[in-house]
Amino acid sequence: MNFIQISKQRPLATIACIAMLTGCAGTSALSDEPVNPDKSARVQLDYNASLITFPVEQYQISNSDWSVVSEAREIILNQCMTKGGFAPDPERAASISEDRNFGIWNVERTRLYGFSIPGVDTTSDNVAPKPPGWGDARDKCVQQEAGRLAEVSPADPTVNPSIADKIQHQSLALASKDPAWRDVREEWWTCLRGRGLEPRTGEQEWSSKQALDLAVRSSKDASAPPSNEESIRVATLEAECNQSARMTQRLGDIQASYQLPLIAKNQAALNEVKSEEAKLVATARQFVLSNQ
């Protein structure tokens, strides 16, 4: 059973939180000026792909472009690794995104996979073993090829967040203080209790205590994970309550309502970032084409 969440907003740094269950720390605020939310704002939900699109994402690298950047980086590192006598990364695979910003919400997926993400398998029996020294060699290649990697990679947003990253985080901080935010969450909590689950009610907690127990048990003993049936049962109840309260849509809309005025205040800087990132992606795409 897999409890990994891969966020489309952090493709270069896999975010593996018992985290789809618990929020991660945000970046610093843009300013202390008051922000008046634009109630017309909406997020777009892609139910089939379990993706949430916020207004600010038009100024961030898209999923498809991240794939190009990741491929360019991997080519550079594989060239270096080959010189050292190592084969390409045996675990390399296309990145998989599933947005669970406000908990798990795709009922059809949970009925099939529970808390797992389709296409991701981290069980020990399916992980190809790496030869001795592989990890050290990989780290050395990252250092040796830092210059070439920088030519096809944006700055690590966890270290040097862009203006769009900051807007993403500040809008979440502002939205979570909006009275309507708690009203929506309380609807979800009430539904969970009615279905026999105990909600975790911390500010960035998006699961039941039963889901956390499953995650902890799985992490403690990967050789004997909790039953898939139990994972499916708990995940489906959580997702059904999320849908019943329309929590992902409504909380996403509240966050988006704070993004629009922040975007307007920082439009020039966002346009510049978008232009620079487009150049970077173009460089990465040309590099991939030249090394096929």
Q: What SS3 class is residue 175? A: helix
The CA–CA distances, whole Å, from 54 to 102, 136, 196, 254, 290 equal 13, 38, 32, 11, 34
Give Cα 231 distance to the centre of its chain.
Answer: 21
pLDDT tens profile 128-137:
667 888 889 9
The alpha carbon of residue 199 and the mean position of all alpha carbons in its chain are separated, in whole angstroms, by: 22
Task: Read off the pTM.
Answer: 0.82
pLDDT at 62: 85
Cβ neighbours for 36, distance < 8 A, ≥ 6 positions apart: 261
H-run or E-run covering 253: helix 247-265
Banded model confidence at residue 18, pLDDT cuts 50, 70, 90:
very low
Q: How far apart are CA 219 and CA 78, in angstroms?
A: 31
pLDDT tens-digit readout, 230-250? 999 999 999 999 999 999 999
| Domain edges within the chain | 42-65+96-127+160-290
pLDDT in tens, 183-242: 999 999 999 999 999 999 999 899 999 999 998 887 776 555 556 899 999 999 999 999
User: What pLDDT, on the 0 to 100 scale, is given for residue 9?
Assistant: 44
